[in-house]
Structure 1
Amino acid sequence: MDLFQGKLYWPETSRNSRRYDKLEGDLECDVLIIGGGLSGALCAFLLGEYGVDTVLIEKNKIGERVSAANTGSLHFMSDQMLTDLIKQIGDEKAVSFYKLSQKAIDELARIAADSDTESGFEKKSSLYFSSSNSDLSKLKAEYELLSKLDFPVAFMDKKEIESKFPFTKPGAIYTLCDARINPLKYCQAVTERAAGKGVKIFENTAMKDYELGDKKHTFKTNGGTISAQKVIFATGYDTLDFMNTKKITLSRTHAIVTNPLSDRERWYEDCLIWETKRPYLYISLSDEKRLIAGGLDETEPVGGYSRKEFKRKTEKLLDSVKELFPNLEAKVEFEYNSIYANTFDGLPLIGEHPKHKNVYFLLGFGGNGTVCSMIGAIIIRDLIKYNYHPAADIVRLDRS
C-alpha cells in the first residue's frame, strides 16, 4: 500500500533533526512502544514524565511516514458534529469525547511548551462555515449546543463573514481554541523530549516477530530481542492485521502547499477554515505563511492515482481555494495525497486488546488524527498507570 504520493512539504522544513541509533543487542523494559509517529511519540512523552521504563522503536526515521503527510490542523470539533455524535452514542459519551478533544489540544500545547525544540505549535481560531443554505439550521443548532456546554465558540452570520473574509457564506461557527502544528517537527521535538525523560529511542529497528505471553511479551527485531511487560502498538495502518477490518475503511485525501502568501492574500486572523460539506475542503497557513489546502477525499483508489488524475486533483483543489480567495496569486509548490482510515462510527480505536492482556493499541483514525493521538496517549497512560480512564469505554477496540 502506498501511504502517500507526491512531494511532501514538512520534510523540507526539518533537515537537521536528531537521529537515533539502531538497536544492537537485547533489552528488557516495562513498556515497549512500536511506532515512531505522533501517536508513539506522545505515548513515550507521557510515560517518560511518570518515570516508566519505556522503549520506543521505529522501523524508519522518527515522524517521517504518515505523520509527515499530516496537514497540521488541530480541531476540538470532530468530523461528526456533536449533535450527530449524541444521536449515535448518547449525550454523556459524546460530550465527554468533545471535552477530551478540547483537553487534548491543551495538552499538545503544554507538551510543545515543555520542549526547547521548535515544534510549529500555535493556537489558532477556526472558521467552520455552512457550505449551503440547507446546512445553516443544523450549524446553528450545533453552535447553540456548543455554547450551552461552554465551549469557546462564536457565531458569524453572513454579514459578519463578508466583513472579514473575501467570500460569502450563510453562516459559520468560529471556534477560539484550535491550533496548528508542523507535525514532523512536533513529532521530532516530542521524541527528543521523551528521550530527555529517560525513554530509550531506536530508529531503523523493525519488529520481525513476536510472542505474546501472560506475564511478558517478546519481540524480535532486526537488531535484537526486546522483552516487555506491556506493549503499545502505534503503527497505524501496519496494525490492521490485528483489527476487525470491517470496522475500518481506507480513503485517500489530496493536499497542496503554495509558496508563502503576501499580506494582502492572507485572511482574518490567519484562522483555520473548513466546511459542513462532505468531503470537506480544509485550509490553513503554515508558520512560513504557505497556504495548505486539502480535500477531495475518495474511498478509492487506495493504491494511488495516475499522473493525469493526480494533476487533475491538484488543479481542482486550487480552483476550490480560489473560489474563496479570488485574488490569490500563489502557486502550488508541493502536492501530494495520502491514505487515512476511518472507523465505522468515526471515533478512534484506543485501548487494551480484549484477547491479549497488556497489549494496547493507539489508532488515531479519522480526520482529526493528531487530536485523537493525544487522546489515545492520555487514555493508555492512565490504563497502564491506574488501570482506568473514564473515557476508555468510548473508544475501546471491541465496541460495535
Structure 2
Amino acid sequence: MRELDLRSGNPVWLADAPARPACRRLRRDLATDVLVVGMGISGAMAAEALTGAGHQVAMIDRRGPMLGSTPATTALIQFEIDTPLTTLTRMIGREKAVRAWRRARLAVGNLRDHIQTLGLACHMQPRQTLYLAGNALTGSALRAEAEARAAAGLPARYLTASELQAGFGMARAGAILSTGNLALDPLRLTNGLLRAARQRGARFFAPERMIAAASHRGQVDVALESGRTISAKHVVLATGYELPDMAPKDRHRIISTWAIATRPQPRSALWPGEALIWEASDPYLYLRTTRDGRVICGGEDADFTNEERRDALTGEKTRRISEKLAKLLPDIDATPEFRWAGSFGDTTTGLPLIGPLPGTPRIFSLMGYGGNGITFSRIGAELIGAALAGGEDADADIFAH
C-alpha cells in the first residue's frame, strides 16, 4: 500500500476535536465477519452500518481513529457532484448520470436522518447551496445545467446576476440555488459513528498496518506488519487516498487541495442563510461557515506530486484563497487563522469507485471520493451493506470498479 502524509498544517476541526475512541494493538490472531481497514469517515460509516445490520466487525488503522485525511475535509455535505449533470450525461449517458445525481441527493437525506436517529452531536445544520458562474459554466451553459437538474427532479433554480446580487450580495454572472444540503463537524460525526459501532461490538485495533491480503476457502486472510493475521469473511478497504497495491490505478489520481478558516465573523457580515458556496470553475473555490461564525474557504486544487511540493505551496495557495474570499465577500475579514493542505482522490467521471475489487469478490474498496467525500461515504456504506446482505444495490453498476 502506498503510504502518504495525507495532510499538513492546522485544520480548524482539530481546535475543538472530540476525544478519539481508545484502541489497542492486536495481541493474537483474530477471526471476524468483516474487517474494515481505515478508521476515518469512510470506515466509520461502513462499520456503523454493518454493525447495525448484525455483522461482527473489527477495524484497523495504521495511525489510529481520525488521524488520516478526515480532519482536512471542509465538510460541505451536498448532493451536487463535482462533474456537472450536463457534463456527466455526455460522459456516461443521461440515464446513469441522472441516477448518480439522484443517489447523491438520497444519500444526503439518508445521512441527515441517520444522524438524527442516532442522536449524534456533530453540529449538523441544513444548508442551501449556491453554485456560482465561473470559467467552466456561465451564461446559457449554467442555465442549461439548472434546467437539466430540474428536469431530473432535483431542486435547482437559476439565478440571474441581478437576482444573485439582490438575494446574496454577490457579483457574478449567475448562479444555481439548491436546497437539502448540510454543514457539520466531520470529526464529531466520525467519532459518533465509531462509538455507535463500538457499542454494537466493533473492535478497534491501532496502530496496525495491513501488508497483504489473500482470498481463499471463503475468507480473506489479512497479514499485519506486527506478524498477526486477521481472517474475515469480507474486507472493506476504507483507506482514503492511500491506495492498496491490489486496487486498479488507471481510473484514479491524487489531487492536492488547500483551505483556510477565518476568525469568527459578526453574523451581520455573513451572507444570507450561510449557504454552502462553490464555483463552476476549474479549479473552483468553495466555502461555508462554522457554528461559531468562521468562514472555511478552500480551493486552488492541483495534481499531487509529493508531500514536500504540496506543503511548500501552502503559503502561496492559502494567500490566493484569502484574496479570492475577500473579493467575493468584501464584508468578511478574510485573514486566515487556520491554514492546511490535504490530498484527495479523483476519477475521470468524478464518481467514486465502490464495490468488490476486480477478481476479489470478498474485498471491497472505497476510492475516488473527490469533493463529495462524506456524501460518497454514505453511498459506500449503503452499497456494501446491500452486498453483504446477499443482494445488490440498484445503483451499484454506476460506481463499480
Bin the TM-score by the shorter chain.
Answer: over 0.9
Residue matched to 2:371: 367
Asked if the contact 1:55/1:201 (under 8 Å) is kept, the reply is yes
Distance in 2 between residues matched to 1:8 and 1:207, nearest whole Å:
27
CA displacement at 1:36 relative to structure 2? 0.6
Residue matched to 2:280: 276
Asked if the contact 2:21/2:194 (under 8 Å) is kept, the reply is no
The answer to whether residue 165 in structure 2 is matched with residue 165 in structure 1 is no
The answer to whether residue 37 in structure 2 is matched with residue 34 in structure 1 is yes
SS at match of 2:138: helix
Percent of residue pairs bearing the same amino acid type = 28
Residue in structure 2 matching 1:7, options 4, 10, 24: 10
Distance in 1 between residues matched to 2:389 and 2:7, nearest whole Å:
36
The answer to whether residue 111 in structure 2 is matched with residue 108 in structure 1 is yes
Distance in 1 between residues matched to 2:355 and 2:28, nearest whole Å:
30
Distance in 2 between residues matched to 1:306 and 1:194, nearest whole Å:
35
Residue matched to 1:16: 19
CA displacement at 1:147 relative to structure 2? 1.5
Asked if the contact 2:353/2:368 (under 8 Å) is kept, the reply is yes
CA displacement at 1:394 relative to structure 2? 1.1
The answer to whether residue 297 in structure 2 is matched with residue 296 in structure 1 is no
The answer to whether residue 159 in structure 2 is matched with residue 156 in structure 1 is yes
Asked if the contact 2:164/2:171 (under 8 Å) is kept, the reply is yes
Aligned residue pairs total 397
Point out where structure 1 has 5 or more consecutive residues left out of the alignment. none
Asked if the contact 1:39/1:364 (under 8 Å) is kept, the reply is no
Residue matched to 1:343: 347
Distance in 2 between residues matched to 1:321 and 1:386, nearest whole Å:
48
CA displacement at 1:313 relative to structure 2? 1.4
Asked if the contact 2:364/2:384 (under 8 Å) is kept, the reply is yes
Assess, with a 3 A threshold, how the Cα gap between structure 1 residues 134 and 214 changes in structure 2: closer, same or farther.
Answer: closer
Distance in 2 between residues matched to 1:16 and 1:2, nearest whole Å:
22
Asked if the contact 1:362/1:377 (under 8 Å) is kept, the reply is no
Residue matched to 1:220: 223
Cα root mean square deviation, aligned: 1.9
Asked if the contact 2:128/2:180 (under 8 Å) is kept, the reply is yes
Assess, with a 3 A threshold, how the Cα gap between structure 1 residues 133 and 114 changes in structure 2: closer, same or farther.
Answer: closer
The one-character-per-residue Cα deviations of 1:304-358 (angstroms, maximum 9, x if unpaired) are 3477642121211100001111122243111011111211222111111221121
Amino acid at match of 1:328: I
Amino acid at match of 1:177: G
Residue matched to 1:180: 183
Asked if the contact 2:59/2:202 (under 8 Å) is kept, the reply is yes
Tell me which moved more, 377-386 or 156-165: 156-165
SS at match of 1:346: coil
SS at match of 1:238: coil
CA displacement at 1:288 relative to structure 2? 2.0
Assess, with a 3 A threshold, how the Cα gap between structure 1 residues 31 and 309 changes in structure 2: closer, same or farther.
Answer: closer
Point out where structure 2 has 5 or more consecutive residues left out of the alignment. none
Asked if the contact 1:51/1:198 (under 8 Å) is kept, the reply is no
Asked if the contact 1:158/1:169 (under 8 Å) is kept, the reply is yes
Tell me which moved more, 159-168 or 373-382: 159-168
Asked if the contact 1:2/1:304 (under 8 Å) is kept, the reply is no
